[in-house]
Amino acid sequence: MVLADRVCKNFGALQVLKGVSIEVQPGEVACLIGPSGSGKSTFLRCVNHLEKVNAGRLEVDGELIGYRERGGRLYELSPREAARQRRDIGMVFQHFNLFPHRTALENIIEAPVLVGGKSKSEATERALDLLSQVGLRAKADAYPAQLSGGQQQRVAIARALAMDPKLMLFDEPTSALDPELVGDVLAVMRTLAAEGMTMVVVTHEMGFAREVADQLVFMDGGVVVERGDPRELLSNPQQARTQEFLSKLL
Ligand SMILES: Nc1ncnc2c1ncn2[C@@H]1O[C@H](COP(=O)(O)OP(=O)(O)OP(=O)(O)O)[C@@H](O)[C@H]1O
């Protein structure tokens, strides 16, 4: 589903990704961990084409991200084509960025109606189902300010799911939440994983990573240092850099 092959990304002279290769199969959950500044968010942003890679190759569901290949050459997608491609990839950020003057329901139906071509009634029906799935059916008419951070994040997940993505990217979805609200968000993510959604999750929640991830990827300094089965990697890291990182966490 996700195929990253030697992906490089620079911001000016700063080399943030230095040849990252990651493979995620359909239905798999991959968790990315690593110290601040190791390039985890940048990698997700490249997968979603919010950033353009400088070198290497990124594919989602067999499609090259941001480019079309013809006769051995690469042609950049038009903004419209790139937007179409991005619709297949849902992204949930640390800060949920809901529209403050729209209700939970209105936040969720916005994209399906405006860019997904759905009628308002069709989008509303689906949005109410999604709100039920994330345990917030009763909050459909609430404004973001009337919701807790955890509830807002669950609305943000429902909003991403409303576009029927093939892949969900999560960038530290619980880092901005009060500790008592983290569990509800992780529960929604666990259910999604159990339903077979392909997910790439940047997280510091090691319990979630251990129980839910099919693979754990440790990044440091813009490279993948180590990857593997989460239980094995967490209990028996092979690389000194992984050991050092984990020893600070546990
Ligand atoms: N748009 C940008 N312009 C310039 N530098 C950037 C940009 N985005 C990220 N960086 C830099 O790239 C490096 C990697 O950042 P990134 O956010 O990908 O790391 P991270 O592993 O996700 O860290 P964190 O856990 O703190 O979010 C950092 O040094 C950051 O300052």
- Model pLDDT for residues 106-148, shown as the tens digit of each residue: 999 999 999 889 999 999 999 999 999 999 999 999 999 999 9
41 lines ligand 1 (CB under 6 A): yes
pLDDT reading at 96 higher than 90: no
pLDDT band at 250 (very low <50, low <70, confident <90, very high): low
Residue 77 to residue 83: CA distance in whole angstroms: 9
Beta strands in the chain (DSSP E): 2-11, 14-24, 29-33, 55-60, 63-64, 67-70, 73-76, 89-92, 167-171, 198-202, 215-220, 223-228
Nearest atom (ligand 1) to Cα of 219: 21
| φ, ψ of residue 132 in degrees (nearest 5) | -65, -45
| pTM for the full predicted model | 0.95
Nearest atom (ligand 1) to Cα of 51: 1
Segment 86-113 shows an average pLDDT of: 94
11 lines ligand 1 (CB under 6 A): yes
ipTM, 2 dp:
0.95
Nearest atom (ligand 1) to Cα of 12: 4
Q: In the chain, what are the domains? A: 2-247 (3.40.50.300)
